[in-house]
Chain A
């Protein structure tokens, strides 16, 4: 189990780098939240090892990089991860397309939590563009999940 935890941290780090990698602005608009997808994947694939703790610490790192308030992304990611861990058996058994839909719903929840916290902490960003990544995230879910699964296969 130890190596599996290391793999999670490793993939989360890669996802974090992908998330903060500077891109041209039109590209960064459609960039999916790789870290959220990764956390979701591990919450579903191995809810015992990964899950909410991974989500929390990944969220803290996201906050350091791009959060107006520390703890914001940690909160949102923990919530999404909690839902995924609770329902992991149901989600796992779904076909890829339905998984994408579920991921879309999870991403919308995630963004909504961020939106709400942004509002409460008086950093409101009301631009509709902030929601675009939920769609691209749903589209990217299948390849991301495939890559993460493959990484697990090879290491084992």
Chain B
């Protein structure tokens, strides 16, 4: 900062200190910096240092709101706390129930798949980060979180909250990281419509409560209420995380594209804690890098360029699947839907899709609700409500990834071929 002391007592147009000269100097410096920042990655280091220097200021800036929050929490009335406690207890009970079901399903899945390629959850580990600073203008939607490279955070890491996808990290400093929200106008996330498997791109609008789907043709099968999930393309987000819900579809006769608006699940403006997630590489649901431009960060934690997808069942695999049939039918009381699928696969003359899906995608969601089949599969899974009483008749190629709760087998289960992680509020009670 010593630079602007030059010529404190000198005349304005003196040598070396003339404004024109200084302007040329600084303008050249700016242009060089811009070029370096835009073209190469030489400036990553500088950025890193500057981020570190800026962090105290950001902390200071956020301190008033943090203090206010603290004060509010301190003087919050007992009633409010009690109400919140009750709500949380309820939520916990619900989640425990789901977890119970999940355990049972995971166990059964492992058994069905012979433990050979049992897939763990796609999320390897996660880290809770606190939001330090929020910028929510219509031009820029970013938050700053208090975790950085010292915690292993890397650039382009997926950030979630407890409801859905929030965004990804853009700049990572030593103790802080900037997260671009999915509602930032510069952000786009590859999504897939859960009901139909239709893939498209959700673009931020600059409004925390809305995402746009500008690339859907007017005749696309999309309607209000459709759930959007990540498709796993693009190399940043893994497949199967809930993104938002379609609320508005406009079809204009003169426009070739439908105007679709969705509401993100994540609470961009309310979150004080977010989750940074590391994904298991090689997992079928792990992000597929379509562009090779993610280089920074821990290379071991980068998504694989082409994760090995489980191939559709080849003929020699089919007997293997079939021999699980009896074992599965012992457990048929637990989940007849899952048991029926291998039967369908083994039966001669059954439609090929049924057999093809069984080993690869069918079992994955059971092991991990967050891990969904490869995006293409969703389109071919028929939404067939199963008939639990007759698991042996291969009338319908059963959606084998149906997560029927073991405790409510008699109830007709809503056909959700792929289930978002159990935290999605919309998916609560599944029996109609």
- Chain A positions within 8 Å of B, measured between CB atoms, are 1, 5, 8-9, 13, 16-17, 20-22, 25, 28-29, 47-57, 59-61, 64-66, 68-72, 74-75, 78-79, 81-82, 85-86, 117, 121, 123, 125, 127, 129-130
Shortest A92–chain B CB gap in Å is 13
Contact A5 to B30, CB < 8 A, known contacts A21-B61, A86-B19 = no
- Chain B positions within 8 Å of A, measured between CB atoms, are 1, 3-10, 12, 17, 19-20, 22-23, 26-27, 29-34, 36-38, 43, 46-47, 50-51, 53-54, 57-58, 60-62, 65, 133-140, 185-186, 206
Return the contact of A20 from the options B51, B53, B133 (Cβ within 8 A).
Answer: B133
- When the two chains form their complex, are residues A53 and B3 in contact, meaning their CB atoms are under 8 A apart? yes
Kindly list chain A residues whose C-beta atoms are within 8 Å of the C-beta of B9. Answer: 1, 48
Return the contact of A55 from the options B8, B26, B32 (Cβ within 8 A).
Answer: B26
Kindly list chain A residues whose C-beta atoms are within 8 Å of the C-beta of B57. Answer: 13, 16-17, 20, 65
- When the two chains form their complex, are residues B134 and A82 in contact, meaning their CB atoms are under 8 A apart? no
- When the two chains form their complex, are residues B34 and A65 in contact, meaning their CB atoms are under 8 A apart? no
- When the two chains form their complex, are residues B37 and A70 in contact, meaning their CB atoms are under 8 A apart? yes
- 10 A-B pairs with CB atoms under 8 Å apart are A9-B1, A13-B57, A48-B7, A53-B4, A57-B4, A71-B31, A79-B23, A82-B23, A85-B19, A129-B138
- When the two chains form their complex, are residues A60 and B8 in contact, meaning their CB atoms are under 8 A apart? no
- When the two chains form their complex, are residues A70 and B43 in contact, meaning their CB atoms are under 8 A apart? yes
- When the two chains form their complex, are residues B34 and A75 in contact, meaning their CB atoms are under 8 A apart? yes
Q: Is the interface of A mostly helix, strand, loop or mixed?
A: helix
Return the contact of A56 from the options B20, B30, B50, B185 (Cβ within 8 A).
Answer: B30
Complex formed: what's the CA distance from A64 to B176 in Å? 13
- When the two chains form their complex, are residues B34 and A53 in contact, meaning their CB atoms are under 8 A apart? no
Kindly list chain A residues whose C-beta atoms are within 8 Å of the C-beta of B50. Answer: 60, 64, 70
- When the two chains form their complex, are residues B62 and A22 in contact, meaning their CB atoms are under 8 A apart? yes
Determine which residue in A50, A55, A64, A82 has the highest number of CB atoms from chain B within 10 A of its CB, and name it. Answer: A64
- When the two chains form their complex, are residues B54 and A47 in contact, meaning their CB atoms are under 8 A apart? no
Contact A71 to B37, CB < 8 A, known contacts A47-B19, A53-B3 = yes
